[in-house]
Structure 1
Amino acid sequence: MNLAVNLAADYPLLNIFWTTCWIFLWILWLVLLFRIIVDLFRDDDLSGWAKAGWAVFLVLLPFLGVFVYLIARGRGMGERELRTAQKSDERFRAYVRETAASSGQSSTADQLAKLSELRTAGQITDEEFAKAKARILT
């Protein structure tokens, strides 16, 4: 019985290099395919039928579909990505502004306590205290 054993020494260095290159290109192509699919479904300008058509084209003829999509709609991919990033950034900034504004407001009890301290320290009169208290409580 003649059993052939493949050792790592039997696989030349140049073959390892080419295998690594092919694996890298395959992963690169998969990432590109998924970016195109995400861009396709994020685009609000396309109708549902157009999205379905592109999706079928990308599934049935993936290599040709990717290249045709990049040629036909490649420039818009960056613009759509930029718009999405700007919208996300604006939503984040609005959230931060809203949160900072709401945490910056003191409660009614805190305002009344500060007012009482001012009256006790003699910085405001009893009449001013009553007016400010009425304004806070309304």
Structure 2
Amino acid sequence: MSNYPLLNLFLTMLWFFLWILWLMLLFRVIVDIFRDDDLSGWGKAGWLIFACILPFLGIFVYLIVRGPGMGEREARHARRQEQAFRAYIKDAAAESSETPTAPKPRAGVDDLEKLIGLRDHGDLTEEEFQQAKRKLLSV
């Protein structure tokens, strides 16, 4: 057989997964540094240099100092993306309503927005939402 005992295999896998975890933390911190509008260019450069020169210490210090705001920044970014998506959908629906073949598209868009709001608020389950959406789009 092999000269590699089971415990060594376990420890190798543990170190490998810890390395993957650290890489995920590193990329998450770098994305957060670039996404943060409150940091100046010098602040972003400083954190990046700190994270690159002293990687483990830099990431852990960043998580201690700026970690609590990471979730807020991520939520803010998700809200902005959702607003941009909804604006795009509204613009696309308004453009399609200008074609003479589309019967009352604005009413369908309003109804669909109401359904999305009910689903997001938790008043509709995903299955109920899909059924109502199918019924709305088939009319």
TM-score under structure 2 length normalisation = 0.69
Letter in 2 for 1:96: I
Shift of 1:100: 1.1
Query: What percent of counterpart residues are identical?
Result: 62
Q: 1:98 aligns with which of 91, 96, 105?
A: 91
1:3 — aligned with what? none
Q: 1:78 aligns with which of 71, 82, 91?
A: 71
Structure with more relative contact order (C-alpha pairs < 8 Å, separation 6 or more): 1
Q: Which residue of 1 aligns with 2:41?
A: 48
Structure 1 residue 105: Cα displacement: 2.3
Matches within 5 A, 1:1-138: 9-107=2-100
- Helix, strand or coil for the counterpart of 1:10? coil
Cα distance in 2 between the residues matched to 1:96 and 1:24? 41
1:13 deviates by 1.1
Distance in 2 (alpha carbons) for counterparts of 1:96 and 1:85: 16
Aligned to 2:135: none
**Matched letter for residue 61 of structure 1:** L
How far apart, CA to CA, are the structure 2 residues paired with 1:105 and 1:50?
Answer: 48
What's the secondary structure of 1:11's corresponding residue? coil
Deviation at 1:53? 0.8
Give the Cα separation in 2 of the matches to 1:49 and 1:61. Answer: 18
Instruction: Show structure 1 runs of 4+ deviating over 3 A.
Output: none
Superposed CA RMSD in Å reads 1.5
Structure 2: stretches of 5+ with no match in the other structure: 102-139
Distance 1:64 1:106 in 2: 59
Number of aligned residue pairs: 102
In the TM superposition, what whole-angstrom CA distance separates every residue of 1:56-91 from its partner, at most 9, and x where no partner exists? 111111111111100000011110010001000110
